[in-house]
Amino acid sequence: MNKRYTLMLAIFVYLSCAKPSPDQSEIKILKDAYRSGHLAVVMSILKEIQDKRSFVGEEEVLFAKTLFYQGNWKEFFSFWDSVQNKTPEIVLLYFKAVLISKEPVPVSTNDEFKLVELLPVSPEACLLYLKFTKDKNKIHEKKLFLAQSKQFQTHLDRLHLELGEKR
């Protein structure tokens, strides 16, 4: 157990003393700490980075994911408002947060459009959109989503065929 804390302290000191612009080794260390479940450590390091400079893309996604998995909804939604480049991963996290948090969050039409843009390529986006608009769905939209699900299944079947797996 002491080795873990020593490792996290070493990571924290290393990143604290590192130069202001990130390099791939710093981001790799952050990702490894995130994957091993050290969200508090990752969050403290990212907040320190945020105080010094703007995040690069990977750091921004890691910050959003850490806020999301910590359930820090107010800060997550505040961060969402400040993000300029809303990647598909961050958009999906945002709508998951809107659905599972108890915070009253007004979703702009622009934000909803970002989710709609992901519908053709993401089954997860389809599910989130259906849950988000569950009271507003029309019969025509449901037929489109059923057709979309068949298309996703066709792609999965082709993938299994290419991989040589039988279902």
Q: Is the pLDDT of residue 37 over 70?
A: yes
Is residue 28 included in any domain, yes or no?
A: yes
Is residue 4 included in any domain, yes or no?
A: yes
- Number of domains observed in the structure of the chain: 1
pTM, entire model: 0.74
| 38-96 pLDDT tens trace | 889 999 999 998 898 888 888 999 999 999 999 999 999 999 999 988 999 999 999 99
Is residue 25 included in any domain, yes or no?
A: yes
What b/e sequence results for 75-113 when a residue is b if at least 16 CB atoms lie within 10 Å of its CB, and e otherwise? ebbebbeebeebeeebbbbbbbbbeebeeebeeeeebee
- The structure tokens listed for 131 are 């849950």
Is residue 30 included in any domain, yes or no?
A: yes
Is residue 14 included in any domain, yes or no?
A: yes
